[in-house]
Amino acid sequence: MNGLTATLIVLVIVLIIVAAVAVILGLRAKRAAPKPESRATDPFHTGDQDSLRGDPRALKAGDIVEVRGLTYTVRGTLRLSEGGWSWAEHLLDDAKGTQVWLAVEEDPDLILSLWTPVADAGEPGPKTIDFAGRTYHSEESGTAQFRSEATTGLAEQGTVRYHDYQASDGSKLGFEAYGDADWEASTGEELSRYDVLIYPTAD
């Protein structure tokens, strides 16, 4: 009886050891197995469009930009920041010397807008401004820091005051005053990602 008990005890111990070894080997195999890559994606991510149409966030002087079929060259760039928010404004011109500004920001999705300088829009301040047949309503205003790259016609760095208005159809009217300069006005329109095609120059 004592011999049988001893045998059973030894058998139980052996089974426990075998089970422990199996568990340890299983854990090691699981750790060694390659982990599947995460498939979570941002539904608004523009990676595919960036590879096909160029990345607006990487624009620099000398790049060629097509906006709705019109071809421009990037002459210079303003890098602006206010608090934790930053954006870029690129000065574009065409073969005829027409100049416009392409604004690029993420909030958090990519936002592109095209701005054309205009005269006789007055000055910002009122809650609404009537200009060129539209009524624009005050949206936001503030003061930002800027750095200038390549040719912009502005100092290398400084401050800019801005005041943005928007009409009911989405049209924009913006005012900017760099340093101690007077207010300058521009009309703006938001662009689709498909409106912009970029041909970057070699570094």
**Tokens 């607006």 appear where?**
56
In tens, the pLDDT along 157-187 reads 999 999 999 999 999 999 999 999 999 999 9
Q: What backbone torsions phi and psi does residue 59 show, to the nearest 5 degrees? A: -60, 145
In tens, the pLDDT along 11-53 reads 657 567 656 555 555 555 554 444 444 334 444 455 566 767 8
The β-bridge relationship of strands 64-67 and 110-118 is unpaired
Question: What's the confidence (pLDDT) of residue 34?
Answer: 45
**How many residues does this entry show for the chain?**
203
Helices assigned H by DSSP within the chain: 2-32, 47-53
Alpha-carbon torsion (118, 80, 68, 43), positive or negative: negative
Asked if 90 contacts 76 with a C-beta cutoff of 8 angstroms, the reply is yes
CA gap 153, 151 in Å, rounded: 6
Say how many C-beta atoms besides its own lie within 10 A of residue 82's C-beta. Answer: 15
CA-nearest of 86, 57, 92 to 145 is: 86
Question: What's the confidence (pLDDT) of residue 26?
Answer: 58
Average pLDDT of span 154-159: 97
Question: What's the confidence (pLDDT) of residue 141?
Answer: 97
Question: What's the confidence (pLDDT) of residue 28?
Answer: 55
